[in-house]
Amino acid sequence: MPPAHPFDTSALRDVGDDDKLKEECGVFGVIGVADASNFVALGLHALQHRGQEAGGIVSHDADQGFQSARRFGYVRDNFTSQKIMETLPGPLAIGHVRYSTTGSKGQTAIRDVQPFFGEFAMGGAAIAHNGNITNANALRRELIERGSIFQSSSDSECIIHLMARSLQRTIPERMEDALRRVEGAFSVVAMTRTKLIGVRDPLGVRPLVLGRVGDGWALSSETCALDIIGAEFIREIAPGEMVVISKDGIDSQFPFRPQKSRFCIFEHVYFSRPDSILGGRSVYETREAIGRELAKEAPVEADLVCPVPDSGTPAAIGYSLASGIPYAMGIIRNQYMGRTFIEPTEQIRNMGVRLKLNVNRALIAGKRVILVDDSVVRGTTSRKIKEMILDAGAKEVHFRIASPPTAWPCFYGVDTPQREKLLAATMSEEEMRDHLQVDSLKFISLDGLYRAVGEAQGRNQDQPQYCDACFSGEYPVEPADQIESGFEMKAAE
């Protein structure tokens, strides 16, 4: 086979983003509008940051029944085609953008791409899921032993099989029955021939919001996707809530045992788009508040505050405002690079970060620079960025990180490296500073992060207000499959 062209962007893994936690997935659904699939395609485009590997849409039309299209790659490269969109008619549709957190990571098969569809005695249903089922292996074994035949490697398919085996009369009742068996995190958007359904797990780990679009309704992972279709944001789906939307209106119920909410705090730090609203708060304003808190906790004398684009930008602005140190775009991102890059040689691989980010030398030379980033996972990208800044003539490099050290993997819908590959799992803050070879390195404290997201008293140690397992090692739902595979939970203090 001839060697791949170094600027062929059609395959392999992300470059420069390999040191970030991968977004989970995005879900979107619309009912009660003409050509609902077009609205879904727009919504998925706005949620593209939550998954870039693949996307899918299922629609229903009274004459043509259920129709589906699943494709690899960006929404813009697939679901802007009139030819494809004409195959998805009807006033009801749901969609999903995927980053694989289970199944064959990086080698997604088309059968793993959601939404999944099932034909039941009372009619068909499609389902799209954001999150991770922590008892999926046990459920899959049980279902296979009872005769289920799985088509994908995704944990989400378990929900369809559990629905198929349920003895309940209606599809919403079967879904409710199935989800009671599921552990972990799930925000689900589903559809029947006449209904749009949205469900959040009892802890509300992953987001799901409701919007009004014309005479119809929309469900979305984030409010920014409602904005793109001109929908009015109505409210968040509550933790443990199930809404069933039809031409008769919205039916809301709470089918699960009530639990205290544990929304993912990292949605505020990184995953969600800065123009979204979470828990009644602007994500942008929260990230700016994180920067302000970081400036109070970890001041340092310097000449410039520079974000690591793009996720570090609001926190860097907050740090600058609180510290009085000028803000500057010391690193420029190439917006046209895309998310993937063929890496045929070591030389090209080492160019990876420079292909995405370039240092603004005129600003940096001779300056003491504070670099603000959202997280440090493996540390590989941080080291490369530090080297670029020094190569540009910086006098000092100080890292300020807008999240606490990521020391534990996430099992609720985020692709986290194995624990031993997380820098903070094996090193102290000082050891990480030495490893990255920077003048100083400081992370925001867990209490500081909680204050920035609106918890004035910080973290409640007895009943944490958020899921912060990636920082604390305290998992609100025991990751049964991982423990069975040998994962060791944090020892009780």
Residue 156 phi, psi dihedral angles, 5° rounding: -65, -25
Q: Are 477 and 185 in contact (CB under 8 A)?
A: yes
What's the burial of 56, exposed, middle or buried (CB within 10 Å: 0-12/13-18/19+)? buried
CB neighbour class for 420 (10 Å; exposed up to 12, middle 13-18, buried from 19): exposed
CB 172 within 8 A of CB 193: no
Tokens matching residue 385: 């960025």
Output the six-digit token pair for 245.
């939307």
Active-site position among 25, 224, 306, 470: 25
Our answer to whether residue 467 is catalytic in this structure is no
CA dist 224 and 268 (Å) reads 14
Which residues have a catalytic role annotated?
25
